[in-house]
Every structure is written in structure tokens, then in C-alpha cells.
Amino acid sequence: MEWIYNFKDPLWETMLGSLLIFVVIIVLTRLIGLRSFAKFTAYDFAFTVAIGSIISSTLTSSTTIAHGAIAIGSLLVLTFVFSYLQRKSSLLNTLISNKPLLLMEKQNILYKNLKYARIEKSQLIAKLREANVLDFDQVEAVVLESTGDISVLHKTEEGLDLHEDLLEGVRKTC
């Protein structure tokens, strides 16, 4: 039964470590801001996954709480610095951020863009179903966001037209 519970497991240390890491995350997020865990860019997502990995290894291995807290703090400071530099430098922004890509314009599927993004038509159709699109005529635009998410903009019953600012910065061709 040692695979279920081993008396040598440091359960109290793990619970205390969880509490301490939780406090560290709260304090750092308050200092650096909520953008710390936003998914605006691919590197934001990578940093969030890395922080989760650090938390896991800190709580379940021989890594100390101080070591884990420093690693988490370092990554959060890096995300803060990069987000600040991104706003100041369009060159840096271009280098580290993917621009969103249009996958569908009105009822027209942009197959060249799908191929460039390595997205299958069936995956696009699945996203349309998730967005409750019943007919291609409802679609205004489908965008592959810089985070890898797919946004479906479709007509509402009120018949509002798509505001052009919603497609600002979106590449129409690859």
C-alpha cells in the first residue's frame, strides 16, 4: 500500500509549502499586476506554463520554497519587463509577438491562411460550431489570435455590422 501513502511522505511540509507559494504568487501578482498571467502573446502562455511547472517541482521535489519563489519572481519580473519594452519598441513587439491571422472573411474560408497556420478545415468548422454558428452567412470573420486561440465574430439578431477596429492589426494574407 506504499503506492497510496508512504509514512516518509512530507505531507505537512507540502501543505506549508503550498501555503507559502500561494502567498508568494499573491504578493508578486499584486506587485507586478494581473497581466502577469494574461495570455496576450505566445511567450505569456509559455511563462505561465513555466511558472506552473516551477510550482509543481517546488512542492513535490527537493527544490526549496525560497528557490521556487525566486524562480517564479524572476519569470514574473521578466514578463513585466518584456510587456513594458513591447509598448515602447515596435521592433521588439514585431520580433516576439505573432500578429493575428484572418482565417475566414464573411462566408469565405481563406484556405491559404489555414494552410499557413497549419489548421485543418475541420478544426475551423469545430470552432464555428462552438460559437453557435448555424450558417456561413452569419460569419463576419474568424481570426487566429496571437495566443493561438480562434475568435469567431458573427452576426447577431440585431444585425449589427462588424466594426472595422475589431480587425485592426489582423493579417488578411500570410
pLDDT of residue 18: 94
> What confidence tens digit (pLDDT) does each residue in 7-62 have?
777 888 889 999 999 999 999 988 888 777 777 777 778 888 999 999 999 998 87
pLDDT of residue 74: 94
CATH number of the structural domain spanning residue 160: 3.30.240.20
5 is a domain residue: no
89 is a domain residue: yes
Residue 121 has phi, psi (to 5 degrees) of -60, -40
Name, in order, each residue with C-beta under 8 angstroms of 106's C-beta and a sequence gap of 6 or more: 139, 140, 141
Query: How many other β-carbons are positioned within 10 Å of the β-carbon of residue 147?
Result: 17
Tell whether 57 and 35 lie within a shared domain: yes
172 is a domain residue: no
Q: Which domain holds residue 86?
A: 11-95
Tell whether 109 and 87 lie within a shared domain: no
DSSP-assigned beta bridge partners for residue 142: 104, 152
Tell whether 20 and 71 lie within a shared domain: yes
Helix, strand, coil proportions of the chain in percent (round to 5)? 55, 10, 30
Tell whether 82 and 145 lie within a shared domain: no
Tell whether 80 and 104 lie within a shared domain: no
Tell whether 135 and 90 lie within a shared domain: no
- List strands edge to edge, sheet with 139-144: 108-109, 101-105, 139-144, 150-154
136 is a domain residue: yes
| Number of domain units in the chain | 2
pLDDT of residue 159: 67
Using the predicted structure, report yes or no on whether residue 157 has a pLDDT greater than 90: no
Among 15-19, 104-108, 113-117, 153-157, the least confident range: 153-157
pLDDT of residue 7: 77
> What confidence tens digit (pLDDT) does each residue in 109-149 have?
999 999 999 999 999 999 999 999 999 999 999 999 988 88
pLDDT of residue 121: 96
Closest CA to 33 of 94, 99, 77: 77
pLDDT band at residue 153 under the 50/70/90 scheme? very high
Tell whether 73 and 107 lie within a shared domain: no
Residue 25 has phi, psi (to 5 degrees) of -60, -45
pLDDT band at residue 104 under the 50/70/90 scheme? very high
pLDDT band at residue 101 under the 50/70/90 scheme? very high
